[in-house]
Amino acid sequence: MTPKQPKLFILDIDGTLIRGREVLPGIPEAVARLRAAANVRFVTNNSSVTAQDLATKLTSLGIPADSSECLSSAEATAKFCRERGFPSALVVGSPALKSSLGLPEGDDAVVVGICREITYELLTQALQAIQRGAEFIATNRDATYPLEGGLFAPGAGSMVAAIEAASGVTPVVIGKPEPTMILQVMESAGATPEDTYVIGDRIETDIDAGRRAGCHTALVLTGATPAPVPGLECYLSLVEFVDRLGI
């Protein structure tokens, strides 16, 4: 059942609020309406950005945000690695992921995220580190990344799949659809699953993560999912969701 008064809205970013550097129509006003009714948090599987990067980008695009309201899979993965106590890691990923981890290069873990500078040599290094016993960790499995004009680019899941196929090892996945980031955000906001909505454009990540965390979910059709899905709460966009919610 829909909560009478949600206390927290957890919003996916790419495909839900923006595509590349294009803000989807009506999104700044829709987010402002959500803010007037409850807490709002921004969560992304994109491991090439930090919370500050997200806040800066959203604000520059007309969606005011503070870094304390943002969480990327880079930081969630770094938290996991700190808790596991890995002394080193081989990173197949972005500078943001490397800086978030803050670990020297080594064979204790192989951490894979979206990597726009990926090479055959780097894939080989990752494979061989895993063969030597390194823990295989994926920031997320998103196969694609939405761009302007309805286009897509390869996502972290493409890099993860290559290394998984070569090594035969299944990685530990930190980002959505795992509920880890959703649970972290709810704890920081003092909300419960009954009071929380998770809103995104991907069934296999955003919606599954919200469901696994016990939250209410809403699928928007502005990104990876182009048409309504039977059995799911679906909206043409976040704007329609806000309108239907009556806030």
| Residues annotated as part of the active site | 12, 14
Rounded CA-CA distance 204/175 in Å is 11
DSSP designation for 148: G
- Cross-strand partners of 72: 44
**Residue 104 backbone dihedrals phi, psi, to 5 degrees:** -70, 155
DSSP designation for 150: G
Q: By C-alpha distance, which of 76, 13, 10 is closest to 44?
A: 13
- Cross-strand partners of 218: 199
Q: By C-alpha distance, which of 75, 70, 72, 106 is closest to 91?
A: 106
Rounded CA-CA distance 155/151 in Å is 12
CB contact at 8 A, 163 and 139: no
